[in-house]
Amino acid sequence: MNSRFFLVLILVFCLAGFALAQSDTARLIGTITDPTGAVISNATVTVTEAGTGRVSTAKTGAAGEYSVNALPIGKYHIEVKQEGFKTATADFSLDVSQVLEISLKLETGSASTTVDVTGEVPLVDTSTSSAGEVILRKASSGAPAQRPQLHPIGSAHSGCQPGFLWG
């Protein structure tokens, strides 16, 4: 009896780890460089969620890389500032469990000048090997519901009672 209890207890703890591993947030990573391609360390990266105004801030490391974790899905605005460079910005959207790379190039100049980066974020995420899919409500709401079809059987044969077959 005790060994069965401990076996069930161990199984519950193992399965709880899988449940906690699921995430409904996303992650933003990238590298900040200057016009020559040299990395810029200690730059301030500010990520603002468009819907709520929630702000997350990070600093680039010695290799010019930054990471902002646990971002809820939604539309965002990123702004990168460093003394002696123009401010760079970009707008993007994040989906569930997405790891998005946005690397920006800062132009030399005063910090009062802003450079807006426009364009689409690539659909292929090369920074991770995970596969996922987001199903939009519009796409799923127009699908017809599957209903069982009733087919009469036996009515064409002599000696058979009419009935129905689920198909």
Q: For residue 87, is it within any domain?
A: yes
How confident is the model at residue 72, as a pLDDT? 95
41 pLDDT tier (thresholds 50, 70, 90) = very high
Domain that residue 126 falls in = 23-132
pLDDT-derived band at 114 (thresholds 50, 70, 90) equals: low
Dist CA 41 CA 71 (whole Å): 23
* Least-confidence region, from 82-91, 104-113, 130-139: 130-139
Q: Mean pLDDT in the chain?
A: 79
Structural domain contains residue 45: yes
CATH code, domain carrying 116:
2.60.40.10
Instruction: Identify whether 138 is part of a domain.
Output: no
pLDDT of residue 37: 96
Q: Per-residue pLDDT for 152 more than 80? A: no
Signed CA dihedral, 80, 32, 88, 70: sign only: negative
Query: Does a structural domain hold residue 127?
Result: yes
Q: State the SS3 of 38-98.
A: CECCCCEEEEEECCCCCEEEEECCCCCEEEEEEEECEEEEEEEECCCECEEEEEEEECCCC
Q: Are 55 and 46 in contact (CB under 8 A)?
A: yes
CB 114 within 8 Å of CB 100: no
Query: Does residue 126 form part of some domain?
Result: yes
What is the model's pLDDT at position 76?
97
Give residue 109's pLDDT band: very low, low, confident or very high (50, 70, 90).
confident
**Pairwise CA distance, residues 120 & 11, whole Å:** 45
Domain for residue 8, yes or no? no
Q: Work out how many domains the chain is built from and give that number.
A: 1
**What pTM was estimated for this model as a whole?**
0.59
